[in-house]
Amino acid sequence: MIEEGCQTFVSDCQLRAAVELVQHTWDPVVLSALRLGPTRRSDLLGRIGGISDKVLTQALRRLQARALVTKARTVPGRGGAAVYQLSPLGESFANGPLAHLARWAADHQAELVGPPTPA
């Protein structure tokens, strides 16, 4: 683990910056869905169960602002459909730390779920 320059409670810690990439519930899900390749927004809506149109739009904007996702038109001009894809930075995050986190969560699913809550 990198500990140089990341002292306890320091606001500019690199770990804090990395954790901010997954602080919004849907952002890591959108990144994972984009691992399959360039995708239209409407296809992402179908691929990601439970996400609303508004929330997907917000997530895509956040991920674009962080340079993790790029948006391109399939046909240049106003008539072309937008296609979203991972940027090289997004690919390195989605296929690296995010994939490892997902694998860890799957391996420990029973422990993470915990006891059922009373009705």
pLDDT at 14: 76
pLDDT in tens, 24-59: 889 999 999 999 999 999 999 999 999 999 999 999
Spatial separation of the C-alpha atoms in residues 81 and 79, rounded to whole Å: 7
61 in Cβ contact with 71 (< 8 Å): no
Please report which confidence band the pLDDT of residue 15 belongs to, taking 50, 70 and 90 as the band edges. confident
Q: What is the 3-state secondary structure (H, E, C) of the chain?
A: CCCCCCCCCCCCCHHHHHHHHHCCCCHHHHHHHHHHCCEEHHHHHHHCCCCCHHHHHHHHHHHHHCCCEEEEECCCCCCCCEEEEECHHHHHHHCCHHHHHHHHHHHCHHHHHCCCCCC
- Name which residue leads in pLDDT, 7 or 52: 52
Mean local confidence (pLDDT), 8-27 = 77
* Mean pLDDT confidence for 7-22: 72
**What domains lie within the chain, and their CATH numbers?**
26-103 (1.10.10.10)
Mean pLDDT for all residues in the chain: 85
Q: What is the pTM of this model?
A: 0.77
